[in-house]
């Protein structure tokens, strides 16, 4: 299970953010693939309980389907980012089609943050987007969408890899529902106990 993109390869991806300031004891929580009314409001409730803010990388099609749920994210003081309109795999479409899909999502998501679904984006696609977006990857991906992975395994992974400036990926999706709702409170408890603060991208 790949939790982190190989550090030796990260410098090849210029103008892409993997991790924030390593000198600050701050965690950057992010959630991908929503909003969905079955999960996103429950995640928002957990974050509100702990007074933690996060960044939600939303799929344009989901925002169109569930505008009230999306509005709740903003009303709670969280940030949002563009995650394409149809959750595209960048390697499977042309640069023009990829950019067009991102622009379509931008009709519903006002943000200068972008995260490529699956982390799959070509160098040409990145180049086409980087003048308009800050492209955000991650330092830790929890794989909470994988129902074969137990919550306790995800929590162990978080404890092992968390460090100053870590950008952490959870998902507010149907697939991730059981894992994210179980792990998120425990992870926040752990980070707070370890003295981490929480930042917005």
- Tokens in use for 85? 């309109």
Question: How far apart are the C-alpha atoms of 9 and 81, rounded to whole Å?
Answer: 24
Sign of the C-alpha dihedral, residues 151, 157, 160, 165? negative
Residues marked as catalytic: 32, 171
Task: Give the closest residue to 57 by CA, choosing from 105, 129, 14.
Answer: 105
Question: How far apart are the C-alpha atoms of 111 and 133, rounded to whole Å?
Answer: 8
Contact partners, residue 37, CB within 8 Å, separation at least 6: 66, 68, 69
Task: Give the closest residue to 122 by CA, choosing from 98, 106, 104.
Answer: 98
Question: How far apart are the C-alpha atoms of 88 and 92, rounded to whole Å?
Answer: 8
């Amino acid at each position: 299970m790949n939790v982190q993109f190989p550090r030796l390869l990260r410098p090849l991806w210029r103008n892409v953010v993997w991790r924030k300031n390593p000198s600050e004891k701050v965690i950057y929580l992010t959630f991908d693939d929503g909003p969905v009314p079955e999960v996103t409001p429950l995640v928002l409730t957990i974050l509100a309980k702990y007074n933690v803010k996060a960044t939600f990388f939303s799929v344009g099609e989901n925002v169109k389907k569930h505008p009230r749920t999306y509005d709740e994210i903003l009303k709670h003081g969280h940030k949002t980012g563009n995650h394409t309109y149809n959750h595209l795999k960048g390697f499977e479409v042309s640069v023009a089609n990829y950019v067009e899909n991102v622009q379509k999502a931008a009709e519903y998501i006002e943000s200068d943050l972008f995260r490529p679904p699956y982390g799959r984006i070509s160098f040409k696609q990145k180049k086409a987007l980087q003048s308009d977006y800050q492209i955000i990857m991650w330092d830790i991906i929890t794989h909470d969408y994988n129902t074969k992975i137990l919550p306790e395994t995800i929590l162990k992974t978080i404890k092992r890899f968390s460090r100053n400036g870590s950008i952490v990926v959870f998902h507010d999706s149907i697939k991730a529902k059981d894992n994210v709702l179980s792990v998120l409170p425990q992870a926040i408890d752990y980070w707070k106990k370890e003295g981490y603060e929480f930042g917005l991208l």
